[in-house]
């Protein structure tokens, strides 16, 4: 497996403000990107995805931006709420042919909401 | 419509033992992937099953093996358990590229 640190970077945001979580990916062959939210003791929950032929996609209160030139992905959460507190992972899908894909997760960012 | 389910929720084993974890995919999904998540880290890809065959594998030893059944459910087997195998084991199912995760099985190896 890949080497990752034990301490997740933390982003602290005031309730009601916008949050921006950033992620760098590594593989130029990645064709699909996903953001997941993971609350304590639970499995990752799908938030939003984007294909490599797009540079922006919007959902409900969330926006994902993709910059393929610098291999950078970001997740913007509008009007952050206490329920947004979680660890957020970006993931890249590497297509290796036919139906064969594997997803590689980034290191994760802990989002902490300040009252 | 039930999402991805996994059993058991928690499991405690001792070194050298063998363990089997189970996963039922979301209705309509035909592909199952397994991940290992150590504390404080992101999920690490173990392998993926489609049409009852292992299609992709991550950097895990042969002690980790799996199976997919005709109803698309899957098992993860780990032999000769090591202390370092203690982790949350996640199953994800998909029909296309979008993977949906189960709640995981927390494995503790003593």
pLDDT in tens, A21-42: 999 988 888 889 999 999 998 9
Residue A41 CB-density burial (10 A; 0-12 exposed, 13-18 middle, 19+ buried): exposed
Enumerate the residues of chain B whose CB falls inside 8 A of the CB of residue A7.
40
Interface touch A43/B104, C-beta < 8 Å: yes
Check whether A99 has a pLDDT greater than 80: no
pLDDT of residue B90: 98
Alpha carbons B70 and B30: distance in angstroms, whole number: 9
> Counting every residue, how long is chain B?
110
* pLDDT category of residue A96 using cuts at 50, 70 and 90: low
B85 SS3 class: helix
* pLDDT category of residue A7 using cuts at 50, 70 and 90: low
Confirm if A20 and A75 have CB atoms less than 8 A apart. Answer: yes
Enumerate the residues of chain B whose CB falls inside 8 A of the CB of residue A106.
42
* pLDDT category of residue B1 using cuts at 50, 70 and 90: low
Interface touch B43/A46, C-beta < 8 Å: no
**Pair of tokens at residue B40:** 């404080």
pLDDT of residue A94: 81
Distance from CA of B31 to the nearest CA of A (A): 9
């Amino acid at each position: 497996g890949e080497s990752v640190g034990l301490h997740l970077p933390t982003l602290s945001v005031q309730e009601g403000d916008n949050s921006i979580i950033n992620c760098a990916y590594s593989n130029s062959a990645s064709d699909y990107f996903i953001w997941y939210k993971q609350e304590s003791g639970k499995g990752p929950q799908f938030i939003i995805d984007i294909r490599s032929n797009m540079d922006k996609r919007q959902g409900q209160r969330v926006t994902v931006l993709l910059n393929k030139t610098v291999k950078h992905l970001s997740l913007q959460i509008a009007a952050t709420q206490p329920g947004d507190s979680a660890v957020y992972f970006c993931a890249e899908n590497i297509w290796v042919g036919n139906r064969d894909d594997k997803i590689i997760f980034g290191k994760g960012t802990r989002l902490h909401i300040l009252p | 419509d039930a999402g991805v389910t996994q059993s058991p929720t928690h499991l405690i084993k001792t070194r050298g033992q063998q363990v089997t974890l189970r996963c039922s995919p979301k209705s309509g999904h035909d592909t199952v992937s397994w991940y290992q998540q150590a504390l404080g880290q992101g999920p690490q890809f173990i392998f993926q099953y489609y049409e009852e065959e292992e299609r992709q594998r991550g950097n895990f030893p042969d002690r980790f093996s799996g199976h997919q059944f005709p109803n698309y459910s899957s098992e993860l087997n780990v032999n000769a358990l090591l202390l370092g195998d203690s982790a949350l084991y996640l199953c994800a199912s998909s029909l296309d590229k979008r993977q949906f995760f189960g709640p995981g099985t927390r494995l503790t190896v003593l």
